[in-house]
Amino acid sequence: MVTIVEFGSSKISIISGSLDFSDKISVKASFEIEYAGYTDSKFSDSKKLATKLEQGISEISLKMGERVKEIYVGVPAEFSYCVCREANLDFKKVKRITEADIITLSKSGLEFNDASYELISIAPIFFMVDNHKKVVQPLGMQGSLLSGLFSYSLAYTSFTNFIRQTFNALGVKTREFIPVTLAQSLYLVPPEIRDNYCIVIDCGALDTHIALSRGEGVLYFNNFALGGAHFNLDLMRVFDVGYELAEELKRKVNLSLALSEGENYEVYSGGRIYEFDAHLANDVILARLYTIIDAVKNTLANSTFDYPPNTPIFLTGGGLSHLRGARVHIEEGLDKSISLVSANSLTNNKPNQSAAMSVLWLALRESDSEKDEARGLVAFINKKLGR
């Protein structure tokens, strides 16, 4: 059983769970609370955030029937970045590749001298033995030269220091920092797909992050400040309504409808029915949607890694996944097909919960690796490096 915290752009999620007999996540307790979010890699109100975390720990402890003593922390894209480095290990003679060789290889790219960042994860993209075919697992192979590409995830120390101090004051040990982008790529995408390349797009309330991954690691990711809440803001401005009513209207919008002239969306709120021009509402939503699509295209274009044009794209998060009829426009705008994904769990399986559930899954995977080192190279390498 482990407990995690994940910081969305508008909500904090705290979840306690374990893996069941079929290796699926079993959630024991969960708690969500709204907060001020973050901008420019800073929490908007750190004092209130500390109070929210105290409330969250108290609530989840009450639901579990025992006090939370340690926690795994999901690091948002806004507070992290990754760098990929190649590494080579020349044995001078043919030998069998061991676990120790992989650890030595991974350590060769560890030189980070910027005190504003903290290394939080090392993940292998691929390995090669004697410059032959790229493989995910080189253990037991024979050769004189071991090489590989590793993804190093770093977090801002302003984030990690604040989190440690805050939870320490609550009597809770910060066990691990887990990159959300890595967790989502590993959990939401089947290994047989990401062994080549995959793209995960998570559109939240106020921001969107995009990750290009391969194997066990993230090659490139970036984020931009556009999300589902911006549809609401546009509807508020055009129809002169409040945020909650704009949210209800957004949920009524269906971009797949062939609307007739003069057709309206009816929204029941506060004991009365409101009518909104359906054509105008759709136009407002479409305008913002294509703004987000353009931002996605620009973000992917800025990647320094080439990837096949048919690389599968997975969409998650609550910002776009719940928007009816949006998928066809996203596919049209990106000129690619997309798959909608969320957590494979009986509970907490909505798209807006996928980030937190991904962090929980990777935390459970790393926790279990202490008992079983065969569960994966990511957890294995991180453990051996003393994280």
pLDDT (tens digit per residue) in 263-288? 999 999 888 999 999 999 999 999 99
User: What is the pLDDT averaged over residues 124-146?
Assistant: 92
Please give the Cα distance from 3 to 14 (Å, whole number): 7
Mean pLDDT, range 304-316, rounded to an integer: 94
The set of residues, in sequence order, having a beta carbon less than 8 Å from that of 157 and lying 6+ positions away, is 115, 116, 117, 118
In this prediction, residue 377 has a pLDDT band, given cuts at 50, 70 and 90, of low
Tell me, what's the pLDDT at 18?
A: 92
Mean pLDDT, rounded, for 152-162: 96
Separation CA 223–CA 201 (nearest Å): 10
The pLDDT-based confidence of 366 (bands split at 50, 70, 90) is: confident
Percent above pLDDT 90 for the chain: 80
pLDDT band at 369 (very low <50, low <70, confident <90, very high): low
pTM for this prediction? 0.91
pLDDT, position 109: 73
Over the stretch 160-217, which tens digit does the pLDDT of each residue have?
A: 999 999 999 999 999 999 999 999 999 999 999 988 899 999 999 999 999 999 989 9
pLDDT at 387 over 50: no
Q: For the sheet with 11-19, list strands across it.
A: 25-34, 11-19, 2-7, 70-75, 173-179
Average pLDDT, the chain: 92
Q: Please give the full DSSP string across 87-133, using - where no structure is assigned.
A: EEEEEEEEEE--HHHHHHHHHTT-----TTEEEEEEEEEEEEETT-S
**Residues 9-15, mean pLDDT to the nearest whole number:** 96
Domains of the chain and any CATH numbers: 80-155+379-384 (3.30.1490.110), 193-340 (3.30.420.40)
Rounded Cα distance, 387 and 385, in Å = 6
